Amino acid sequence: MSGADDSLKTILETVIKEHSKDGMDLMDSTLNEEIRMMMKAKIGDVLLERLKSGIMGKLELSREIEKEFEAAVFATWRKPLELLDLLLNVCLEISNDFTSEYMNVFSKRDYAREALAKQQANACLVFSEILHLLKSGFPSGALSHWRTLHEIVCVSYFISEHGEDLAKRFLDYETVEACFQAEAIYENQQNIDCTSLSKRDFDKLKKGCKAMEKLYGSDFVKKSYYPYGWIPREILKTRSFKEIEKSVKLDSFRANYDLAGYNLHGGQNGLLFKLGSLKSDKRVVIPVGPSNYGLADPGRSAAISLGQVTACFLMSESGVKRLVIVEALRNLIDEVCDAFSEIEAEFGKV
């Protein structure tokens, strides 16, 4: 019997025992016998095969509908979406050029520039994911991803502000994070039928974590300070993202950040707040698919954040060339925001 079968059997037997406690002796009843026969006959497998045969024929039609809907989304939001594509490629080009320039000129490792370059590269990846969600008509998902982009921006500003020593701590903290993740996997892999992490690899990660503790002190590796143990207490007394955000004066985005979190968690707000729902629709409907409405907020926010993190990376070294590029980026982002606002306004007229 598979792990799934065992789990189902356990659930069924638990239910039967609970009913028995209430005076309903089902352990030897006809219902219990029917359940045992169902388990023996693997009726779930039979049902699954029937579901597959019924659904598989509809998948091709579903794919065609998805393609048509994505084409409709692109037709509606063509200008801002193309500008987002342009912005992404410009930022990738800029980062490649300046990373190559740095590698050719400097021989000594620059931790701040390295950290900011990695942050900018990660921001480009997250931005690309946001762009694909927007093109497919999933604005709430795109806004949720923007939260990550905003976090990257704030941490980048924070590193830029505090310099080389903090940047090194930030990069070294990767060892601590890897160790914490490994501990969670190693402790539970037997329960989830997974043996991907050997004891040898686990011990190696723990050894690396011990080296970081020796280098930076016990605060650096305390789980209670995760994931901000890399920040010294003298820089931030309370180590949290909210304090980082406030420190770099980007807490004006806090309301948007909280709003974007509604669809990341299982709370009530996530049920009702969906960017893809038309404001004129008074019905309480939870959308289960894509929408051609609501792309403006995540699109504008993502453009601004990618511009911020790219500018932060560029200005890690001063120069007229870099200032000119930052100004050009700002103008492109203004175009993006205006294009989204124009189409959003058209929806308001409907």
| Tens digits of residue pLDDT in 59-82 | 888 889 899 999 999 999 999 999
DSSP string for residues in 170-227: HHHHHHHHHHHHHHHHHHHTTTTT---S-HHHHHHHHHHHHHHHHHH-GGGG-GGGTT
For the segment 2-21, the average pLDDT, to the nearest whole number, is 56
Of 223, 80, 242, 286, the residue nearest 150 (C-alpha): 242
Residue 31 in this model has a pLDDT that exceeds 70: no
- Cβ atoms of 158 and 247 within 8 Å: the answer is yes
Q: Residue 67's pLDDT is what?
A: 93
Cis-peptide into 227, omega within 30 deg = yes
pLDDT-based confidence at residue 162 (cuts at 50, 70, 90): very high
Average pLDDT over residues 98-113: 78
Nearest Cα neighbor of 220 from 178, 169, 180, 182 is 169
19 pLDDT tier (thresholds 50, 70, 90): low
Task: Give 218-259 pLDDT, tens digit per residue.
Answer: 999 999 999 999 999 999 999 999 999 999 999 999 999 998
Angle at 129 between CA 124 and CA 135, to 5 degrees: 120
pLDDT of residue 97: 86
Of the ranges 64-68, 182-186, 238-242, 261-265, which is most confident?
238-242
Res. 310: pLDDT tops 60: yes
Predicted local confidence at residue 350, as pLDDT: 46
| Mean pLDDT computed over every residue of the chain | 85
CA distance 324 to 85: 21
Higher-confidence residue of 274 and 234: namely 234
Which contacts qualify for 347-350: CB closer than 8 Å, 24 or more apart?
Answer: 347/278, 347/293, 350/280
- Res 56: pLDDT: 75
Tell me: the pLDDT tens digits for 331-345? 999 999 999 999 999
Whether 156 shows a pLDDT value over 50: the answer reads yes
Residue-level pLDDT at 139: 93
Q: Select from 205, 206, 236, 232 the least CA-distant residue to 219.
A: 232
Handedness of CA 208, 212, 215, 221 (dihedral sign): negative
Mean pLDDT, residues 179-192: 81
Phi-psi region of 198 (alpha: psi -120 to 50; beta: other; left: phi over 0): beta
Q: What is the pLDDT of residue 84?
A: 98
pLDDT in tens, 196-214: 778 899 999 999 999 999 9
- pLDDT-derived band at 37 (thresholds 50, 70, 90) equals low
Interval 110-118 mean pLDDT: 93
- How many Å apart are CA 244 and CA 232, to the nearest integer? 12
Per-residue pLDDT tens for 46-55? 677 777 777 8
The pLDDT of residue 26 is 46
| Cα atoms in the 13 Å half-sphere on the side-chain side of 45 | 9
